[in-house]
Chains A and B, each alone.
Chain A
Amino acid sequence: MWLFALPALLINICIILVPAVLTFTAAFFMWDGVGTPAWAGLANFQNMAADPVFWSALTNNFIWTAIFLTVPVCLALVMAAALLMAPKARIVVQSIIFLPRIIAVAVTGRIFQGMIFSPVTGVVAWLNEHGFSISDPLADPDRSLYAVAAVDIWHWWGFLAVVFLSAMRQISVDQIEAARLDGAGFLALFRYVLIPGIRPTLILMLILTVIWSFQVFEFIFIVTRGGPAYGSEVLATFAYRHAFFEGDVGQAAAAACVMSLFGLCATAVYLWLQITDDAQST
C-alpha cells in the first residue's frame, strides 16, 4: 500500500510539507527576504499580538467564516432542493448559477468594482442618478468586508448548489416518495429527508468552508487590498503586506502559522466526526 501511495506522498512532501516546515521555521526568525535570517525566538508572535491590525484581521476572518457558513450554504441548499423537485429546469439553471465559478477571480473582482459598486461607472452611480442615495460600500471601512464577501458569495454559491444537488440526487427516490405520500411538504421534506440525506457532504463542505475562510485572499486583495483603513484586512492580506511590502518575512510567516492553526483545527474536527461516524456505523 505504501508503494502505491509513494508518488503522491513524495509530491506532497516536496510541495506541501517542506514549504510548510520552512514557513513555520521562518516565523522564529527576523528575515527581510533577501539577507541572512537572524534568530528572533517568539518576537514575531509578540509583535503580531501587539499589533491592533492583526486582531482586526483575525476578527474579519471570523466574520468571513460566519458569513460563508450561513449565507451561501442556505442559498445553495434551497436552490439544490428546488432543482431536485424541478428536473426540467435543472440543466439551464445549473449552467446559469455555475457560470460565475468559471469566470476568473480577477475579472469578477473588476466587474463588481467598476460596474456594480463604482459611484462613477457602476450600478451605484445609476441608482444615485435616479434618486437613491447610495455610496460605494468598498470605500467604507465598516462595510467593505461585507461588500467583498458579497462578490465572493456570487462567485461561490452556485458551485455549492451544484455539489448539494449531486448529493441530493444520491438520496433514494423511494425515500422521497414515501415522505411525500406521508404528507410531507417542501419544508418537512427538506428538514427531515434531504438535509439528513446529504449530511456527510454538508459537513465536508462546512469544514472546507472554515479552512478556506482562513485562507481567503484573492477577492480581498483584488477589490480592496484590505482597505480602506484596514477595514477588510484578513490574515492573508496581513501576511502578504508584511512579506512583500514591509520586507518582514518572519512576521508574515507568523501570521501564516495562525491561519494554518485554524485550518488544522477544522481538519481535526472533520477527522473526529469521521471516526465518530465510523464507530456508530460498526
Chain B
Amino acid sequence: MTMTRRQLVAAIPAAALAANLPRGARAEDARKVVTFWFGQANSDGQAALRNDLVEAFNASQDKYLLQMEVKGAAVNNLLKVALVAGNGPDIVQTAGPAYLTAIANAGQVLPLDDFAEKYKWKDRFLAPLLNTSVYGGKLYALPRDYESMHLFYNKELFKQNGWKLPTNRQEMEEVADAALAKGIIPFGAGNADWKGVNEWLMTVFFNNVAGPDNVRKALAGELPWTAPPFVEAVELSKAWYNKGYFGKNYFSLTIEQSFLQVVNGKAAMALNGTWSFGTKSYGMSKPDTVMDVMPTPSLGTAFTGPLVHLACGATLSIAKTSQNAEGAAAVFEFMLTRKFYETMNRDWPGKWALPVKDLPPEMLSGIGYPLFEKTISNLHEAFSKGQYGFTTWTFWPGATNSYLIEGIEQVWLNKITPDAYLTRMQTLFSQEAKEGKVPPLPPRTA
C-alpha cells in the first residue's frame, strides 16, 4: 500500500499522540480480560459497580482488565444457557446457594480450593456463609454478602402511640391490633412486583414460630414439613393475613410502595431484608430520624429472644470454561480489601456486605450510615456465634422454594388448607432431597 504525502502528514500527529498516551491506556491491550455478568442494579448500584469495583480494580493492577455487564433480572436464566453452551462469563454470579447447587453439581464452575489455599479465604470468611458453597468437600463459590430479615419500624409512630417494641408474639399482636384500631396498617407489605416477598414473610414465620432448630432438622430431612411446629407457623401467617395485618392491598402494592407506607406513618412496621438499606427510593435516610430496625422477635415457644436469618444473596464462582481463572480470583481478592468494603457499602449499602471474619468497628463506621452499621454489626456477631435461622432463598431447593412462594397464596386466600400446603411441600422436598438438590447446611457453630 502506498501513502500519499497528505496521508503521511496526517499520520504524524496521530503517531505522536499514541506515543504520549499514559502507560495504563497502552497497557490495556496486553491485559487479560475478566468478564463478569451482574444481575439487577438500580442507578446508584450501577454507579457503585462502575466506580468502586470495575474502575478501582482496573486501576489497582495492570495484569487484568475487568469488564462487567449488567444483565438485569433474567441473568440467572441467561447464565445457565451460556454455561451449558460454554460461553459464560469468567465470574459466575448466582442468586445464592439454591441457584448454585445445580450449577456446581453439573460441574459448570471450578472448585476454588487452590485459590482459597493461596489467598487464605477460609480464614477470612465467616464459616457459616462460606460453607453454603461447599459440595462434596470442595468449595465452589465465595459468598458475596450476607442478609437477614429484620423488623423495620417507624420509631416516631411508636413514640407517638406509646407502643413498646415487641419481644414476643403476644406483644407483636398487641401492637398490630392497636395499630389496626387507629387505622394504621400493622405491616407494610406488597408483592405486586416481586412474588419473593411471600418467602421473606414465610422465612420469618417458619423460623420465628417453629424455631431455627426445627427448621434445620427439616432441611436435614430429620423432621417432616408436616410436623406441628410448621403447621402452627403457616396457620399464624394465615391468621395474620386474614386479620389484615399486611393491609388490604398486599397483592396490589409494590415493595417500594409498601415500604414507603411505613416511612410515611401509614404503616407501623415492615418485615423486610437488610438489602432495603441500599434502595434510596424506600425513603430511609442517613442518619434516620423516622425509621429504626431490629432483629425479628420470637413468635412461638420454641425459643426466646430476637432472631436473625442466615442468607447469602449471591455467590461468586469461576466458570469451568474460563480462560482467565487467575484473573477472576484476583478480582475476588480485590473485593476483600478494606477500601472496597468501605466504598461499596457506602455507595450501595447492603448489596455487597462481604461476610468477612475480621470486621473492626472502625471499618463499619467508615461507611457513614449508622442504622446500616448497627445492623451489619449485629448480623456479624450472630452469624459468628452460630445464632441464626435459615432463609428460604438460601437453603430451600428450587421446586420446594417455588411452591413455598406460590402455594402460600392459596393458603392465605383460602384455596387450600395449611396441612395440604405442607404435605405438598414435603412431597417436593423429599423428591429434591433424593436428587441431591438441597443446598448444604452450615455447621451450627462458627
- A residues engaging B (CB < 8 A)? 32-36, 53, 113, 117-121, 135-136, 138-139, 141, 225-230, 241, 244-248
Contacts and interface: CB of A to CB of B under 8 A. Distances in A.
Contact of B83 (A34, A229, A241): A34
Given A32-B102, A120-B257, A229 B252 contact: no
Contacts of A113: 192
Contacts of A230: 406, 409-410
Contacts of A229: 406, 409-410, 412-413, 415
A244 B257 CA distance: 27
B251 interface: yes
Given A119-B248, A139-B249, A228-B251, 14 more contacts: A34-B103, A53-B406, A113-B192, A117-B252, A138-B251, A139-B252, A229-B406, A229-B412, A229-B413, A229-B415, A230-B409, A241-B402, A241-B406, A247-B102
28 contacts: A33-B80, A33-B81, A33-B102, A34-B103, A35-B105, A35-B106, A113-B192, A119-B248, A120-B253, A121-B257, A136-B251, A138-B192, A138-B252, A139-B250, A139-B251, A139-B252, A141-B415, A227-B251, A228-B251, A228-B409, A228-B413, A229-B410, A229-B413, A230-B409, A241-B406, A244-B77, A245-B398, A245-B402
B80 A227 contact: no
Contacts of B398: 245-248
Interface string B231-254: 000000000000000001111110
Interface centre among B76, B81, B413 (most CB of A within 10 A): B413
A194 to B, nearest CB: 42
Contacts of B359: none
B interface residue count range (under 10 / 10 to 19 / 20 to 34 / 35 or more): 20 to 34
Q: What DSSP secondary structure best describes chain A's contact surface?
A: loop
B102 A34 contact: yes
Contacts of B415: 141, 229
The 6 closest A-B pairs by CB, nearest first: A139-B251, A35-B106, A229-B409, A246-B399, A34-B106, A136-B252
B433 to A, nearest CB: 14
Interface string B191-214: 010010000000000000000000
A189 to B, nearest CB: 46
Nearest to A38: B435
Interface in B160-200: 192, 195
A36 B251 contact: no
B84 interface: yes
